[in-house]
Amino acid sequence: MDKLTVRDVDFRGKRVLVRVDFNVPLDGDTITDTTRIRAAFPTLRHILRCKPQALILMSHLGRPNGEPVPSMSLAPVAPALAHLLGNDVAFSPDCIGIDAERAINAMPTGGVILLENTRFHPGETKNDPTFAAKLAQHGDVFVNDAFGTAHRAHASNVGVAAHLPAVAGLLLQNEINYLATALEDPKRPFVAILGGAKVSGKIDVIDALLRKVDKLLVGGGMANTFFAAQGREMADSLVETDALDTARSMLNAAGAKLVLPLDQRIADSFRNDAAQQLAPASADVPPGWQSLDIGPATIDNFAQEIAGAKTVVWNGPMGVFEMPNFAVGTTGVARAVAEATAQGATTIIGGGDSAAAVEQAGLSAQMSHISTGGGASLELLEGKALPGIEALAER
């Protein structure tokens, strides 16, 4: 980590503007998963111990497309944050303007306030300089702790950094240290696991990883496209026909490095209670059927590859893990990764569905690191520079 962090700054008596990632799932006004809120606590508690004048938090929630959407308000997050953090947390009905200024000015010394959704303004996603300057007026120093948006050049993470001293939070530092170390100096054998629906969204990731890993295990819907590229009939399975040539090229270039499933669990419809059966990788999928999970032979094979690894990076589920009957493969791989951790491997879960699947399996605590940013972790795995990190002050 070659950027300044919160450990390099004296926050005493200063207004500290912090970009957090409180893009949490909501059921009405109820937060159904507080993982991202709790992930910010090390940074927030560190700053509060430094006796700031005020702690001002900003975040987005959802994609309101530049205008207020009541269902995407951050208002329910403030009381949840107060309860979890053990501090009073005020809430501003806007992130800029007179309402925000009044709410901030009304805070007691050392108080905490959460501003309304930054994406309620079109200037946020456009990285509008005027909007960024208005956000920056709230603080004396800026802390970016939102790894989940570090791959976006938005006003609240990049634009603000042009106006204030800008440093990384502890969560952001931890994410970079784990992911960068895994890529730049991994302990070997280095095994990567990729799943999810599509090959096309991960072409650059596959290219980058094939140059670095000892084995790349591919499952989930993206394996279907590789099978189709080999000439297997996949029937109603998800297959990206536009990516078949790319898949063929990757298979030719990767050789034994790229490991595909040995078998798959197929179903006669996309339902949890669908009729299902196992199909070997060499067999065509029958008409009207589709592949929804990896099979037991694949779980065992992947587990053997993972067991010998010293570094494991996993991004993407092995099947439709949201359906219990087709979560077997993902859970099996999660157990294998957890066992590798216990044997001393560094295991990194790349956010998004992978993190949700590990949480669902009850194995989160048995991983070395679970990333809070799916898209950001993918771009880092590709070797891309992340704008939200590039904007911070160099050490």
Query: At residue 166, does pLDDT exceed 80?
Result: yes
Identify the helix (H) or strand (E) that includes residue 30: strand 30-31
Residue 66 annotated among the catalytic residues of the structure: no
CA angle 123, 124, 125 (to 5 degrees): 100
Q: Are 352 and 315 in contact (CB under 8 A)?
A: yes
Query: At residue 373, does pLDDT exceed 90?
Result: no
Q: How far apart are CA 172 and CA 178, in angstroms?
A: 10
Residue 373 annotated among the catalytic residues of the structure: no
Candidates 148, 352, 374, 388; catalytic one = 352
Query: Tokens representing 357?
Result: 């699947």
Candidates 14, 15, 36, 134; catalytic one = 36
Candidates 198, 248, 310, 335; catalytic one = 198
Q: What does the pLDDT average to over 8-34?
A: 95
- Prediction pTM value: 0.88
- Sign of the C-alpha dihedral computed for residues 34, 40, 42 and 47 taken in this order: negative
Q: What does the pLDDT average to over 231-248?
A: 95
Q: What does the pLDDT average to over 92-104?
A: 97
Radius of gyration of the chain (CA): 23
Q: Are 54 and 15 in contact (CB under 8 A)?
A: yes
Identify the helix (H) or strand (E) that includes residue 84: helix 77-85
28: left (phi over 0), alpha (psi -120 to 50) or beta: left
Query: At residue 224, does pLDDT exceed 90?
Result: yes
Q: How far apart are CA 34 and CA 101, in angstroms?
A: 28
Q: What does the pLDDT average to over 227-244?
A: 96
Query: At residue 35, does pLDDT exceed 90?
Result: no
In this prediction, what percent of the chain has a pLDDT beyond 90? 85
Q: Are 125 and 153 in contact (CB under 8 A)?
A: no
Q: What is the C-alpha end-to-end distance of the chain, expressed in Å? A: 9
